[in-house]
Structure 1
Amino acid sequence: MDKQELKELIKQKTPLEFCRRYLFDQNVYLFDQKSENSAKGNYHDFKCEIGNALNTSPNNVAIIGSGKFGFSMNPSKKELLKEFNHGSDLDVVIVCPEKFEEIWTNLRKLYYTNQTNVKEIHAGDVFSKYLVVNHKMDYRSTYMRDTIGLLQELKKTINGMFRIKRVVNYRIYSNWSDVEDYHEHGISVLQGLLNGPRGDKI
């Protein structure tokens, strides 16, 4: 799918329809295209590797963003539908209720025991019902440090197995409804921009 085709799909479909029909299907640019930026192996094995590491179904794992379509879906970027390149991050959604609850519980415990900066760092994420573990942060929690270690090892594993030599960002959600809500809103904002003057330049 080229940029113009993607642009027209976003403009024509409702945001929720676009998410369900295209954003969460099994066609992924990173694995489908053949270039120096492509991954080796297949998408299902990639999802299984992450699912096994976090004890969740591979059906609960999805690549989104520029790695999914070959173009960024972030409406806040200066360049709309910016092309995926060697410097692009890989964004991965993981639905894992148990892990979400465990991390959230531990973050609250840290806040209540005087590591108050966790609220500032994670409040926005929690409001949108997802969690991102910050590997650069010094969490005063054995569980959080172990979780960072698990995710860092997972990154190394998929970098080696699938030749993905780029930053991998994991967003952990409690359920798919929250995933849909978040991305439906993002597509709605992007749709509005593509229907305006900035979209006319693409």
Structure 2
Amino acid sequence: MNKFVNTLIAATAMLTTSFGAFAGVMYTNTGLASADTTLTFDEVVLADGTALTNQYSAFGITFAGAFYNPQAQAFPPATDGNQIGNFFPAASPWSIMFDNDIEEAAFGIATNPNSTLVEVLLDSVVVDFASANTDFDGTDFFQITGLVFDEIRLTTTGDMLALVDNLQFSAKSDVPEPVSVALLGLLLAGLGYSRRSV
């Protein structure tokens, strides 16, 4: 019995270590340290106000309710140069959709004025969300980590104007997550213990 309890304690410690970092949607002042893809929206240059659909499909993303916006004015540090957004009278909510499952993302955001609700979805089901004051003096970035998702949906309040830039994302890897490995180890330890007890 003691060996099983010790194994359980070790597995619990492993799970705690795995979940040490924040998982979910968070409003912060930086993007991701590294990502598979970063889009500054200079990659495909379009006319101001172009409705975005599949123009960035070569990068694995499509849009609904978003427009292209080459901004002369910079809103430091999250948004400058070419950006995407929704404009008054704007569509809200609007979405960034990924061709594949994503495990982390970040983007710079500025709104005029008020707040933004960010929801992340997998197969059209919301898996997490967060809301923050995202006016031009805000902290500037939303980060999404520790989740699997294929859509980011943004809803802005007030006049609904939002600008998004520096979109970073990483595809879900096929390597087993530490949590899965820990649970498998715990299961095998339990089976081994129960066999010896019989």
Please indicate the TM-score interval, normalised by the length of the shorter structure.
under 0.3
Larger gyration radius, structure 1 or structure 2: 2
Greater fraction strand: 2
Greater fraction helix: 1
